[in-house]
Amino acid sequence: MGRAFFSMTSNNNNTKPILDHNGEKLKDDGTSTGVRNASSFSDIVHNISTSKQFPQLKALFFVTTWAIASSSLIFLNKHLMSEADFHYPMILCSMGVVASWTISVGLISLGISTVSTKKGQTQITARWYATHILPIGMFAALSLGFGNYVYLYLSVSFIQMLKACVPAVTLFVMFCAGLERLDAKVLLGVAVLTIGTTLSAYGEIDFKWIGVVMMVTSEFCEAIRMAVLQYLLGNLKFELIEGLYWFSPASLACLFIGIMWLEMPAFVRENGVGKIMESPSLYICAALLGFLVNYLTLGVIKSTSGLTFKVLGQAKNTAVILISVMVFGSQVTSLQIVGYTISMAGFYVYQMAKMEQQKALESANLEMRSSSEQ
């Protein structure tokens, strides 16, 4: 499933010096210093993705590569599970988590990225990790696992339509956790979203309850993960590779339990290793794409905003639906098109309401700071 197992918003307004691979400050003379000093394509990518001199180019780089990687992973996973008969969803998604952790460890070992065991006043100990990171990893693993199982039962296009109901699930979980307040416009947007998604489901030709239940369960686990992350970590921030380094093992440990319980007996009995060896390049691609989606998701959020990422996510889902229909021949009914259109209208209302809430909160905070300074 083309989804990141770890994401959290980060304030990217802090100005930092631009460093080369040796950690030395690059000369800032108003020119494209990072690109000028790059000796290879990898250096160019590194400098664009980290440099503060290219904010717009950096955002475009992350958005474009994220959309391509995420969409490619969706279609590749669907192919492997449906066409290649590799019906072990948790094993498949764990490949991306393994790649994320392995690559992050490698980059940190080479000194390309750094990791800290202290974030602000918080010391990352084994006990703190078990009580703060592990619960987040557990819900991330559940979201990934259920999300991948969906592809065994539902079409790619229908799955993307169901993703339109994510704000409704998120609002419900956040409200129950006391992390979200209800607003008339937000509720209106969610209501329209729900109606549209219901119509899309009603118009689905190959409707399977088990697939829909797994999809909703996946979204609930994702929403709970975000609530737990917000509650346990608060304002703690992790850099891109650093986040993958800390969160990947927690998700992998929980996925391992599910794999051993649900998939390993069938994997051994049906010679799953043999299936992998028939087309190893496809599984390597799935693992690398999993890493890219995780990394690029964080990059998109850091270079734009969480709100922009949600809008881009819906735009990407729409593109996946169109590709699924035009290229792969997925069947979409007129009722589904109407339902999805209604869902997008509801999504627009929801996002506008959230923007108004955010502006009101920022204005209130600004007034409080002004009054305290006086």
DSSP-based three-state secondary structure for 177? coil
The helix (run of H) or strand (run of E) holding residue 234 is none
pTM of the entire structure?
A: 0.75
d(CA 134, CA 146): 18
Residue 17 in tokens: 């010096």
Per-residue pLDDT tens for 116-143?
888 777 888 899 999 999 999 999 999 9
List of residues 6+ apart from 260 with CB closer than 8 A: none
What was the pLDDT predicted at 159?
Answer: 87
Vertex 124: Cα angle to 119 and 126 (nearest 5): 170
Per-residue pLDDT tens for 251-282?
999 999 999 999 999 999 999 999 999 999 99
What average pLDDT does this structure show over 184-212? 84
Task: Using alpha carbons, select from 263, 318, 317 the residue that is nearest to residue 86.
Answer: 263
Name the more confident of 257 and 27: 257
d(CA 267, CA 259): 9
What was the pLDDT predicted at 324?
Answer: 83
Per-residue pLDDT tens for 213-244?
999 999 999 889 888 887 877 767 788 888 88
Name the more confident of 280 and 4: 280
First-last CA distance in the chain: 52
